[in-house]
């Protein structure tokens, strides 16, 4: 086989397996946020692992499938006199705007994705398992199959139990811990003797999250109403404060 024909064949084969997914990230909050990304397994880190997004602004990220990882928003961020960058919620501990492969420190609202290769079936969800800091929505653009939007549209901070609340410098509630994070007990973390769906059902605390955000994961085994799929290589819109 001629070299040119072989290169064309290899290129065609690669393109049939991998494709780029475009994420449009919008800040609909009344204040600046600092979205971030983390690759959990499969694929490489996004070209942007953290950036500032002004109120009402949007940006796009292209991520090559297959890929799995998460998105989240950081709030009330600033740099000190030495240049160290920190955020009141969602901070990733990197000391920089870019998270560079580190995840958001709970409590934080997560958007989780597993992108399939070859235009297969993507999986996505909004998760409050690590607590809540910002409302968010996910809307597929194109694709085939169910491709339903999902979200946590309400401000859980407004109904957060006092002992789960994280307060900002002005005393307002800026994030809400999950029961697992706040109480650190196996029955709330679904660990140890409770590490199965039948032993770890919804509880009074997880229902606070579920009542505010019915489509989002409220605890570890909240799968049936919280996992969404879309096939055909669609793109996605992620909106904070939808």
pLDDT of residue 16: 43
Average pLDDT over residues 193-214: 97
Q: Where are the alpha helices (DSSP H) in 122-217?
A: 179-183, 186-189, 204-212
Question: What mean pLDDT is reported for the chain?
Answer: 91
The per-residue pLDDT for range 65-106, each reduced to its tens digit, is 899 999 999 999 999 999 999 999 999 999 999 999 999 999
Residue 99 within any structural domain of the chain: yes
18 band by pLDDT with thresholds 50, 70 and 90? low
CA pair distance 212, 218, nearest whole angstrom: 10
pLDDT of residue 53: 98
Residue 188 within any structural domain of the chain: no
pLDDT of residue 70: 97
Domain containing residue 87: 21-154+215-240
Residue 11 within any structural domain of the chain: no
CA pair distance 45, 185, nearest whole angstrom: 33
The per-residue pLDDT for range 135-182, each reduced to its tens digit, is 999 999 999 999 999 999 999 999 999 999 999 999 999 999 999 999
Distance between terminal CA atoms of the chain? 54
pLDDT of residue 136: 98
Average pLDDT over residues 205-223: 96
Residue 234 within any structural domain of the chain: yes
CA pair distance 73, 107, nearest whole angstrom: 11
pLDDT of residue 43: 58
Average pLDDT over residues 32-36: 98
Residue 147 within any structural domain of the chain: yes
Residue 190 within any structural domain of the chain: no
pLDDT of residue 225: 84
CA pair distance 188, 79, nearest whole angstrom: 35
Q: pTM score, two decimals?
A: 0.90
Tally of domains in the chain: 1
The per-residue pLDDT for range 171-196, each reduced to its tens digit, is 999 999 999 999 999 999 999 999 99
5 band by pLDDT with thresholds 50, 70 and 90? very low
Residue 206 within any structural domain of the chain: no
Q: Kindly report the CATH number assigned to the domain that includes residue 64.
A: 2.60.110.10
pLDDT of residue 116: 92
Residue 196 within any structural domain of the chain: no
């Amino acid at each position: 086989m001629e070299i040119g024909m072989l290169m064309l064949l290899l290129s065609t084969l690669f393109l049939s397996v991998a494709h780029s997914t475009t994420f449009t990230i919008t800040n609909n909050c009344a204040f600046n946020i600092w979205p971030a990304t983390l690759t959990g397994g499969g694929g490489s880190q996004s070209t942007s692992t953290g950036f500032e997004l002004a109120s009402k602004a949007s940006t796009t990220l292209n991520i090559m499938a297959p890929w799995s990882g998460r998105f989240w928003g950081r709030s009330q961020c600033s740099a000190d006199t030495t240049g160290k960058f920190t955020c009141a919620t969602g901070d990733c501990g990197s000391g920089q705007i870019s998270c560079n492969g580190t995840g958001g420190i709970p409590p934080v609202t997560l958007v989780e994705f597993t992108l399939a290769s070859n235009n297969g079936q993507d999986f996505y969800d909004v998760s409050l398992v690590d607590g809540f800091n910002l409302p968010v929505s996910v809307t597929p653009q194109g694709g085939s199959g169910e491709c339903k939007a999902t979200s946590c549209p309400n401000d859980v901070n407004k109904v957060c139990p006092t002992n789960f609340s994280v307060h900002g410098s002005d005393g307002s509630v800026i994030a809400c811990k999950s029961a697992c994070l706040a109480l650190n007990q196996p029955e709330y973390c679904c660990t140890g003797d409770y590490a199965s769906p039948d032993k770890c059902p919804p509880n009074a605390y997880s229902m606070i999250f579920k009542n505010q955000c019915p489509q989002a994961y409220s605890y570890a085994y909240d799968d049936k109403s919280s996992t969404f799929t879309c096939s055909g290589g669609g793109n996605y819109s992620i909106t904070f404060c939808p």
